[in-house]
Amino acid sequence: MSRLAIDAINDADVEGVVALWQRCGLTRPWNDPHADIALARRRDNSTVLLGRDDGAIVASVMVGHDGHRGWVYYVAVDPDCQKRGYGRVIMTAAEDWLRRAGIAKLQLLVRRENAQANAFYGSLGFELSTSVMFQKWLDGRATTPSN
């Protein structure tokens, strides 16, 4: 039985969440994590869900929908707490959040070289899409290796 307690991010959690993402290697120079959190919390079509073990933030998922499909970002489990089922629990929480919003399909992006995450999503029943992703920065900057 998982000890993970799930709830939505609060103001007091922000620095702890950014630290978790840094420990998990999820931050990138072209993504400001504070701005990403603020944007996800601005409207009711997205949020950041947290998993707490004895009060400590050990898991996260940014979940939202665009009015058609659901998406997750920043899926993270503290390196000291991985392989205990917490990743599965936080993803189930994201799926439940999307179902409640009336969304039927969840999509996500994984860096090709992230073998750990590719195996994780495979275990959770996700299938590789045959679609190709196109991308463009809307502020005119040059394309980065990934988003």
Ligand X SMILES: CC(C)(COP(=O)(O)OP(=O)(O)OC[C@H]1O[C@@H](n2cnc3c(N)ncnc32)[C@H](O)[C@@H]1OP(=O)(O)O)[C@@H](O)C(=O)NCCC(=O)NCCS
Q: Which residues bind ligand X (CB under 6 A)?
A: 24, 26, 75-77, 82-88, 110, 114, 116-117, 119-120, 123
Reduce the DSSP state of residue 133 to 3 states and report it.
Answer: coil
Q: How far apart are CA 141 and CA 78, in angstroms?
A: 32
Q: Torsion angle of alpha carbons 78, 80, 82, 87, nearest 10°?
A: -30
Residue, CB closest to ligand X: 87
Rounded least distance, CB 89 to ligand X, Å: 7
Cα–Cα dist 134/101, whole Å: 26
Residue closer to ligand X by CB (options 53, 65) is: 53
Longest dimension (CA), the chain: 48
133 or 142: CB nearest ligand X:
133
Least distance in angstroms from the C-beta of 61 to ligand X: 9
Q: Which is nearer to ligand X, 10 or 107 (CB)?
A: 107
Q: Which CB, 27 or 45, lies closer to ligand X? A: 27
Q: Evaluate whether 27 touches 33 at the Cβ level (below 8 Å).
A: yes
**CA 49 – CA 8 distance, rounded (Å):** 4
Q: In the complex, what is the shortest distance from the CB of residue 106 to ligand X, in angstroms, rounded to a whole number?
A: 13
Shortest reach from residue 66's CB to ligand X, in Å: 18
